[in-house]
Structure 1
Amino acid sequence: MSELSYESPLAGVAAPSGLSVSIREITERGMLDLRGLASDAAFMAAVKGVLGFDLPVKPRTSAAWGDVKVLWLSVDQWLILSSRSKSHELLANLREALKGIHSLAVDVSDMRAVIRLEGDGCREVIMKGTSLDLLDPEYVQGCCRRMRYAEIAALLDVVEDDVFDIYVFRSYAHYTWNFLCATAKAPAKLKLFGKQDVPA
């Protein structure tokens, strides 16, 4: 009998040469969708007992401890990130701790593709596909939010000042990848302020 095997959404795809920033897929990332009431002390305590830290409750924020990170998605929804190998254990522990508490924990690791942009100019590249003003002081390390990117639903996570992760549904992985590679080409590089470089 054949065994199940995992293949990342962008397996076999490589970024072309001549890009102004680094673009790569983040593989082997486990993702758990968690729902519950932040106003429920029992729910919050149970989750903290498993994760080791409090869930972020402020909109567009995240929290992390070790190799586990949690992104705030809405008033009653969070995305828990870890290594794929650790997500199964985390899910089992969450479900055990949340027994009898109004909540939902589901493994959604195969639902999304994660594309990382690194380097000076990432903000300008991303802004070519969204109406967000990533120069706003809000967009610092730890900020996360849903957005429309190139006309599709996406999730943005500011990992560091010049490191961004974009989450899109798996079926849009190639579309997003191709859009990013096209807008990140060196000849398309732009500066938001000041004199622009003239392409050779």
Structure 2
Amino acid sequence: MSDVRFESALAAREAPKDLAVDIREITTRGMIDLRGLASDSKFMAAAKEVLGLDLPTAPRSSAAWGEIQALWLSTDQWLILCPRAKTAELLGNLRQAFEGIHSFAVDVSDMRTIIRLEGDDARFVLLKGSSLDLLSSDYEAGAVRRLRFAEIAALLHIVSQKPDVIDLYVFRSYANYAWDWLLANGRSAAAIRPFGRQAPPAV
């Protein structure tokens, strides 16, 4: 019997050179959907023992320790990120630590596609598909936000700033749609600034 092999939804896609930002897919990341009660000290302690970090409890925040990250999704839900090759081991350790504790942990690595945008214009590109004010102080490094992006459900994670590095999570079935949207709206010729006089288009 052949081994299970991961294949990216965007395996055959490449970003052109005429973009205002760098766009690429992140394929080496594993994802675990973790649920439990933040008010349960046993749950929180067990999570910290395995992950090496305190699960973030502030809305739309994240935490990191080494190769592991935890993104806050709701009051009782986190998305745990780790190297894809270590997902099964980490999941097993979590389930063992949570034995007898009200909790839920499942591997969702193949549920979403992660598209990374890098560059000073990353926020301006994303602004075209969202009503969020991504230029406000609410969206600094570490911020996480579920949103409606280009008419599809998505998750945004501000990885770092200056220059911006932003990860966009979309469901796998929408990966090609999101990729095409970003290519169309991320071209240098389509670049805009939301304030001030705009340069006239070249003719």
**Same fold (TM > 0.5):** yes
CA distance in structure 1 between the aligned counterparts of 2:4 and 2:106, rounded to whole angstroms: 19
User: Counterparts of 1:1-200 in structure 2 under 5 Å?
Assistant: 1-161=1-161, 162-200=164-202
- Letter of the structure 1 residue corresponding to residue 125 of structure 2: V
- Letter of the structure 2 residue corresponding to residue 138 of structure 1: D
RMSD over equivalenced CA pairs, Å: 0.8
CA distance in structure 2 between the aligned counterparts of 1:150 and 1:66, rounded to whole angstroms: 33
1:197 CA displacement = 2.0
Tell me the alpha carbon deviations over residues 107-159 of structure 1, each in whole angstroms, 9 at most, x when there is no partner. Answer: 00000000000001111100100111101111000000100001110000000
1:84 CA displacement = 0.2
Tell me the alpha carbon deviations over residues 38-92 of structure 1, each in whole angstroms, 9 at most, x when there is no partner. Answer: 0000000000000111000000000000110000000000000011011111101
1:193 CA displacement = 1.6
> What secondary structure, in the 3-state scheme, does the structure 2 residue paired with 1:42 have?
helix
- Letter of the structure 2 residue corresponding to residue 33 of structure 1: D
Residues paired across the two proteins, number: 200
- Letter of the structure 2 residue corresponding to residue 34 of structure 1: L
| 5+ residue gaps, structure 2 | none
CA distance in structure 2 between the aligned counterparts of 1:5 and 1:52, rounded to whole angstroms: 29
1:196 CA displacement = 1.4
1:11 CA displacement = 0.5
| 5+ residue gaps, structure 1 | none
- Letter of the structure 1 residue corresponding to residue 147 of structure 2: M
CA distance in structure 2 between the aligned counterparts of 1:84 and 1:4, rounded to whole angstroms: 13
1:4 CA displacement = 1.8
Tell me the alpha carbon deviations over residues 13-42 of structure 1, each in whole angstroms, 9 at most, x when there is no partner. Answer: 101221111110001210000000000000
> What secondary structure, in the 3-state scheme, does the structure 1 residue paired with 2:87 have?
helix
1:195 CA displacement = 2.0
CA distance in structure 1 between the aligned counterparts of 2:75 and 2:47, rounded to whole angstroms: 15
1:3 CA displacement = 2.5
CA distance in structure 1 between the aligned counterparts of 2:189 and 2:89, rounded to whole angstroms: 46
